[in-house]
C-alpha cells in the first residue's frame, strides 16, 4: 500500500475537526429542536465520517467529502451569499488536493487492500 499523501491527511483532519466542532456547536439545539436540527447535525456527522474514512483510505469517502463541501457551497449560494467566496475557495482547494494523481493513486491502492 502506498503512503498517504500529507495533503490528504490534512484534508481528512480538517473534515474531522470541522465536523466535530460544528456538531458540538449545534448540539444544544437538540434540547429544543427546530424542524432542521436533525438535518444539520446529520450533515456535520457526515463531514466527520468522511474525514475518518479518508484516513482509512476509503475512496468513496473522498467523493463524500467533495459532495459535503459542494453542499456547503450550494447553501451559501442562496442570498444573502454569506461565505460563498470562502466556501468556493475551500472547495477548489480540497478538490485539487483530493483529485491530484498522488491522492488518486493512494485511494486506488488502499481500495485493493485485503483484510
| Domain count along the chain | 1
Q: Is residue 1 part of a domain?
A: no
- Domain that includes residue 84, residue range: 6-111
Count CB-CB contacts under 10 A for residue 38: 12
What is the model's pLDDT at position 111? 78
What is the model's pLDDT at position 112? 65
Report the alpha-carbon distance of residue 55 to residue 13 in Å, rounded.
8
Under-70 pLDDT residues of the chain: 1-2, 112-115
What is the model's pLDDT at position 43? 96
CB 66 within 8 A of CB 94: yes
Q: What is the pTM of this model?
A: 0.90
Amino acid at each position: 500500500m502506498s503512503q498517504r499523501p500529507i495533503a490528504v491527511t490534512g484534508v481528512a483532519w480538517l473534515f474531522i475537526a470541522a465536523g466535530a466542532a460544528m456538531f458540538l456547536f449545534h448540539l444544544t439545539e437538540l434540547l429544543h429542536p427546530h424542524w432542521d436540527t436533525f438535518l444539520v447535525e446529520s450533515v456535520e456527522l457526515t463531514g466527520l465520517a468522511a474525514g475518518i474514512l479518508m484516513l482509512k483510505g476509503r475512496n468513496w469517502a473522498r467523493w463524500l467529502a467533495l459532495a459535503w463541501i459542494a453542499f456547503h457551497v450550494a447553501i451559501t449560494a442562496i442570498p444573502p451569499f454569506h461565505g460563498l467566496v470562502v466556501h468556493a475557495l475551500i472547495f477548489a482547494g480540497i478538490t485539487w488536493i483530493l483529485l491530484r494523481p498522488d491522492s488518486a493513486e493512494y485511494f486506488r491502492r488502499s481500495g485493493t487492500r485485503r483484510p
